[in-house]
């Protein structure tokens, strides 16, 4: 099951947060998904608008996503 196999069985998952993260990822281009270094201010604004989140929320979530992907 990949990286989720290390999660404790009783871990609480916030479905709302997962939905937001999924929307942010779906708003990214393939290039942005592969290399997060290409994401600048304009791209962050576009990703936030496309995902229905604020720019600050999308930045915070995309930073978390990038850390997990390493």
Return the pLDDT at 69: 58
Q: Is residue 8 part of a domain?
A: no
Q: Which domain holds residue 68?
A: 44-70
Return the pLDDT at 70: 52
DSSP states along 15-51: HHHHHHHHHHHHTS-HHHHH-GGG--HHHHHHHHHHH
In this predicted structure, the answer to whether residue 1 has a pLDDT above a threshold of 60 is: no
Q: Is residue 58 part of a domain?
A: yes
Q: Is residue 30 part of a domain?
A: no
Query: In a 10 Å sphere around its CB, with 0-12 CB exposed, 13-18 middle and 19+ buried, how is residue 9 labelled?
Result: exposed
Q: Is residue 52 part of a domain?
A: yes
SS3 14: coil
Render pLDDT for 14-70 as a digit per residue (tens, 0 to 9). 888 888 888 998 999 999 988 888 989 899 999 999 999 888 887 777 676 666 655
For the chain, the domain total comes to 1
Q: Rg for the chain (alpha carbons), in Å?
A: 13
Asked if 32 and 43 touch (Cβ cutoff 8 Å), the reply is yes
Q: Is residue 29 part of a domain?
A: no
- The pTM of the full predicted model, rounded to 2 decimals, is 0.71
């Amino acid at each position: 099951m990949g990286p989720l196999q290390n999660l404790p069985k009783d871990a609480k998952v916030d479905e709302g947060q997962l939905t937001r993260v999924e929307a942010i990822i779906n708003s990214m281009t393939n290039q942005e998904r592969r290399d997060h270094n290409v994401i600048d201010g304009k791209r962050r604004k576009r990703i936030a608008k496309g995902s229905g989140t604020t720019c600050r929320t999308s930045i915070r979530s995309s930073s978390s996503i990038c850390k997990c992907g390493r």
